[in-house]
Structure 1
């Protein structure tokens, strides 16, 4: 809402109607608007009328410039810290920390996330200080009698815009400008560095695990071998391949790729949908599937014996254990890979080969060579 008052135009000597925003002082009432440049009547001429409503001294603006520059410098140092944290824990070569260690992973995540958050906060804080303590604050009004703009109006707005860019301090205050550009450099490079985690392609690594014909199956977390009679009908056991060196055990990566669930059901419960080969991969109603959900890699560790449903608790992907672990519900797109099993001469369960398909989420299989 605006009101029209007649103000004396010092440049032309004629009275012209002017619009001002309600709440701003009127020049006809003897009020003047001082600016940092010392001009007490600094108003924009033309249809876009601007009055500076917050007066800042040059000293105040310089303090704001120094404070904003300090925040930009903090953002730059935090950005450098992000790269240091990232490459310090990346397994690029021998002798570097393994990211597979849970403690190392936790520290890495805290450092990477913390430094990136501090960098973003520093830039945001610097921009806030810049806006509140350096930039001039205007209230602008413009009449809209005609929807179309004349060439004079367009030129007036262009002049107003360019003057605002100048008053922002970006060109006049090199300390603030340079520290801002410096702070933006690490954040600009960060996405490029993070793309490094998307490669290289896995090749055929996901098609080959430690499982091989004759390798014993042990209870997960132990070295106890499993006999067929150890599983009752309706029972489930999480299991792993027996490590070659019991004292050294399996690495976390090896466990993640090879963990399985053994389920025993009545052989007659296997549906006709299972192929003859899938049936041959079972032993007396015992079937083995990868425990890694094919959605995003969570452990599919829940089993409901009456319906033969395997459930992943993360996103409720559900698989039918009696029908080759086919997906019956949820976001997963392919069955859990099946592990062929048999028994050895001593009656222990052993693998009869490797998985029927690459383990894990579907996107892990991107780029796998046939």
Structure 2
């Protein structure tokens, strides 16, 4: 038997196909097939399946309860009150409610897929990316028949009124954004002006200690608030005023600055001050790169060039950061010349 196998192997090695003869070479890789299916506990025990189902819908109902709790907590601890205890509890309990709601959905969905959904292995044959002509024609016919049955293409008044209704349906949501501002005051005025005024000293955030021009070294950056802001309590609008008035102070070589002609006297010996509120969606612009003189917003990566009026050089922000005009007083402290000359933060529809 061994002699016959050696002879057969020798014949295979020495055989060569004739010219023009097609040769079928067998696939050297054999299909191993699917492994033996291993049943889960829920496949074998109906009680285990019932427990798994109960666990899943309990998690989903728990998520509903957590979402409702988050909404209730938002009302129980209103941040509009300005009380520090309300702000802390609002952040804590609303955050816990939303977190547990999402976590329960995630755990329930994973448990559903692992324990309840069918887990039979199967093989799907590979097919061409392009469908057959008959399949494509059938799909087109489905849309044509649906259009005929619904009258969508024929009844223009219904179709156009539907489009109008869909467009108008988003208007109430946009209008509700107006409610983010206090209703007893004009939101335009609130967004257009800040605490800064002429002669007000620039102070460290959050200590409120005034800043001398001599203390601002080359390449440094200071987080700044108005000196008077440090004396306000949370029930006196501290957070609201700070959200608009926060400033970033930097010092460059005077010859590195390229101010506009109408802003030549807005700096002092290379020291410039810009609003920290990003003009995209209002995130704090707090990352300063002293070698390139670039400010970076960490939320959506907008970048501003401090040496050139905080002009936008990258990202979704649409306009430069507003500049705070500054000078020094008789004691050498940095002071504001006036408020910002334009509204701070993102653009809004009443902004001129």
TM-score bracket, normalised by the shorter chain, equals 0.5 to 0.7
Please say if 1:122 is aligned against 2:96: no
Please say if 1:365 is aligned against 2:347: yes
Alignment partners' CA distance in 1, 2:191 and 2:273: 18
Structure with the largest fraction of helix: 2
Q: How many residues align?
A: 261
Structure with higher RCO (Cα < 8 A, 6+ apart): 1
Q: Is the 8 A contact 2:79 2:86 kept in 1?
A: no
Partner of 2:245: 258
Please say if 1:312 is aligned against 2:299: no
Please say if 1:280 is aligned against 2:259: no
Alignment partners' CA distance in 2, 1:210 and 1:201: 20
The structure 2 residue matched to 1:243, chosen from 219, 228, 242, is 228
Alignment partners' CA distance in 2, 1:195 and 1:60: 53
Alignment partners' CA distance in 1, 2:203 and 2:91: 27
Structure with the largest fraction of strand: 1
Gaps of 5+ in 1: 1-21, 24-53, 142-146, 150-193
Report the TM-score, using the length of structure 1 for normalisation. Answer: 0.54
Alignment partners' CA distance in 2, 1:88 and 1:200: 19
The structure 2 residue matched to 1:217, chosen from 202, 207, 212, is 202
SS at match of 1:280: coil
SS at match of 1:226: coil
Q: Residues 193-251 of structure 1, C-alpha deviation per residue, up to 9 Å, x if partnerless?
A: x9999663554233332222332211223232123333345543321111356374884
Distance 1:129 1:324, change over 3 A: same
Please say if 1:333 is aligned against 2:315: no
Alignment partners' CA distance in 2, 1:124 and 1:288: 51
Report the TM-score, using the length of structure 2 for normalisation. Answer: 0.57
Distance 1:110 1:285, change over 3 A: same
Distance 1:238 1:139, change over 3 A: closer
CA RMSD of aligned residues (A): 4.6
Alignment partners' CA distance in 2, 1:341 and 1:138: 71
Alignment partners' CA distance in 2, 1:148 and 1:321: 60
Q: Residues 295-344 of structure 1, C-alpha deviation per residue, up to 9 Å, x if partnerless?
A: 5524333242x65x133273654322222111234554321211122344
Distance 1:217 1:124, change over 3 A: same
